[in-house]
Structure 1
């Protein structure tokens, strides 16, 4: 499973550049390389079978390519996976060749709306400034995430990402709102967290988006892949991907991929070209092994 949509970028990033063993450009690592690799792998395996006189249907491999992962994946992966009967899925959208991701944090997007009373900016005592109320609420919310520790920052985090307020410089604003991008782990009670935040702030708390964690269940396919990929280990990731829909539909799977040095969405987005060859070879061996020695 992979996706061909990308985040916004300047025009220059849509002209690929190869330099020092890397391919630079928007989508290089997130996630167009994976779509290309998947199609080439499937094509080569089908052509090899045809040369041997084998039917196309003997491949235990299927490819799913979607076009809306960066905006939620609701019409892509979520829609498609609900109709797919699959024993194991590799989401080629994270990790690196030597790291298979088995856990990704969940997403909670909260909007806090503070309200005040409008007045002329020259007579602020006649109004109630919604921005000041919002600032106070932001500091309160920040306290729910301070002092948390854990290996590899595996704890809930918060990013204050968007603030909207004010219509005129000479007017006391009567409304201000802030959006918080919260990432949570399996150790968090999300419903309780939202209730406690609402009880602690003066503004209105609105849940705009809530997405589950991805936790890879134990699978003989995962163990087979780890046995074939010497030096590859399992790990965690802080971002989210369409892999969370695998859990929703009860499909065992992992997140894996080429090496991009965490350059996704950046001006220096790139993929290490050598890692593509290793990833391709491992996937090809894995599919061959499954066909020759079914689980």
Structure 2
């Protein structure tokens, strides 16, 4: 163990330098104008894996963004681990909201700031550190799957898993793309919400109208779509869409005070829904308006506009069906069109929720490795976010243990401004994965 710790400490500066190179690539998979950047990100990931001594590294795609697959053959009698992360990132949300340039990795107060530093190029960097700690000769078989479209719902992942089933077959699948319980305390994620989205378009008029000449009788699309979107929740903030699955999880000490501190909800603003915070976050559906097309305030005129549209994101509770949930949302929107306005719904991508166990010798080895590296037992917890590939992989490789680990913490602000990676926790995550590989060889 002391040799592994020394090796991780030796490799960390170089790994962080390479993470800085990765953060500099603007691999926003949702932006058609960034396709070259996503390709460049995959190329750098492949280059870094080859640099560990791996001879089997391929960039693959099945009608979508590029993924990287690599393979270190297992020594005789040893199990095989597949390590997952993704190299694509979210849009910045506007550079003006960032304290420092979003694609320039910047260290400040013990954290590394930059888009993707935590989600999930930092996750790939954990794998890189563990492989380098063993000099590119891990004590067990290791496969890597570094995806390039996780941030858009992994639309071609199913096809990729089918096409490369033999290349990804393993005994343990490690997904380093979740969140830890808190700074200094690791977690294994055992449940995930699924996802679905759609774009709803509402039409009220066949052309714009003067708001004084026709207002008060003729409906305008913006007011109508606001009324429609308001039907998605009841007065307490519970999701009001019929037919969505909701469940309950184990009792967890997740207080309202902690949630407010982590989320930044303003003091006088109420929280949505009813029941324990952990159930609302992890085991109930959530519906959010994540985009709205309408005339901007700075361009506003006294005009009734004929159409408006919104993008709606749905998080599907564990145990639910993502496709059925999207149909339920579509039916709700169509049934609640105000004043007879025309509502059309364009379905988007879906991804399944996941319920994962933590049983068996591989899970026990992971617990011991993480407790040794972090100095505290890992917490089993749910996650309100979505990793569609978790359940897809569990279905594609029956019998494999699926372990979801993390480099993020509640203050990493993934998908938001000033995304960051806690450098102390990053070092512990690298050490824990190296201990895991060694423990599996034991």
Q: TM-score range by the shorter chain?
A: 0.7 to 0.9
Query: Residue 180 of structure 1: CA displacement?
Result: 1.4
Secondary structure at the residue paired with 1:123? helix
Structure 1 residues 159, 86: closer, same or farther in 2, change over 3 A?
A: same
In 2: Cα distance, 1:86 partner to 1:67 partner: 21
Equivalence map 1:40-79=2 (5 Å): 40-47=129-136, 59-75=140-156, 77-79=157-159
Checking the alignment, whether the CA contact within 8 Å between 1:246 and 1:252 is kept in structure 2 is: no
Checking the alignment, whether the CA contact within 8 Å between 1:110 and 1:179 is kept in structure 2 is: yes
Equivalence map 1:156-235=2 (5 Å): 156-165=285-294, 169=301, 171-186=303-318, 188=320, 190=325, 191-192=327-328, 194-202=330-338, 203-220=343-360, 221-230=362-371, 231-235=377-381
TM-score scaled to structure 1, two decimals? 0.82
The unaligned stretches of length 5 or more in structure 1 are 50-57
Secondary structure at the residue paired with 1:64? strand
Query: Residue 94 of structure 1: CA displacement?
Result: 1.3
Query: Residue 285 of structure 1: CA displacement?
Result: 1.8
Checking the alignment, whether the CA contact within 8 Å between 1:158 and 1:182 is kept in structure 2 is: yes
Checking the alignment, whether the CA contact within 8 Å between 2:179 and 2:405 is kept in structure 1 is: yes
In 2: Cα distance, 1:72 partner to 1:192 partner: 19
2:390 is aligned with 1:243? yes
Query: Residue 109 of structure 1: CA displacement?
Result: 1.2
Structure 1 residues 272, 93: closer, same or farther in 2, change over 3 A?
A: same
| Corresponding residue number in structure 2 for 1:55 | none
Count of aligned positions: 283
Checking the alignment, whether the CA contact within 8 Å between 1:39 and 1:63 is kept in structure 2 is: no
In 1: Cα distance, 2:176 partner to 2:354 partner: 14
Checking the alignment, whether the CA contact within 8 Å between 1:100 and 1:234 is kept in structure 2 is: yes
- RCO higher in structure (CA 8 A, sep ≥6): 1
Checking the alignment, whether the CA contact within 8 Å between 2:103 and 2:115 is kept in structure 1 is: yes
Checking the alignment, whether the CA contact within 8 Å between 2:228 and 2:333 is kept in structure 1 is: no
In 1: Cα distance, 2:407 partner to 2:213 partner: 60
User: Does 39-48 or 13-22 show the bigger shift?
Assistant: 39-48
The unaligned stretches of length 5 or more in structure 2 are 1-83, 241-272, 372-376
2:274 is aligned with 1:124? no
In 1: Cα distance, 2:108 partner to 2:136 partner: 32
Checking the alignment, whether the CA contact within 8 Å between 1:93 and 1:257 is kept in structure 2 is: yes
| Corresponding residue number in structure 2 for 1:81 | 161
Choose the corresponding residue for 1:105, options 182, 193, 206: 193
Structure 1 residues 192, 12: closer, same or farther in 2, change over 3 A?
A: closer
In 1: Cα distance, 2:429 partner to 2:208 partner: 62
In 2: Cα distance, 1:110 partner to 1:68 partner: 18
TM-score scaled to structure 2, two decimals? 0.57
